[in-house]
């Protein structure tokens, strides 16, 4: 599970503090957003910021023939 930090905690996490273990807590879901993204995110052929934009019908990757 990835760690999500509040911006206000970044300095502590990246700083010289020996054990900022109290930052290992659940991030409040009220502060999160969710949206569908394109299936292009699964392919290294599409390596640009647009893969994180909300998915629409025209963002689907072209189908490839399997060899």
User: What is the per-residue pLDDT across 4-28, written as a single tens digit (0 to 9) for each?
Assistant: 999 999 999 999 989 999 999 998 8
Is residue 63's pLDDT more than 80? Answer: no
Q: What is the mean pLDDT of residues 47-66?
A: 71
pLDDT-based confidence at residue 49 (cuts at 50, 70, 90): confident
60 to each of 31, 38, 41, 64, how far by Cα in Å? Answer: 28, 6, 10, 12
How far apart, in whole angstroms, are the C-alpha atoms of residue 15 and residue 6? 15
Instruction: Count CA within 13 A, CB hemisphere, residue 62.
Output: 3
Confidence of residue 56 (pLDDT cuts 50, 70, 90): confident
pTM over 0.95: no
């Amino acid at each position: 599970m990835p760690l999500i930090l509040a911006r206000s905690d970044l300095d502590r996490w990246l700083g010289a503090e020996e054990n900022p273990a109290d930052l290992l807590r659940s991030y409040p879901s009220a502060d999160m957003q969710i949206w569908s993204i394109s299936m292009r995110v699964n392919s290294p052929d599409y390596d640009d910021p647009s893969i994180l934009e909300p998915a629409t019908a025209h963002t689907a990757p072209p189908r490839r023939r399997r060899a």
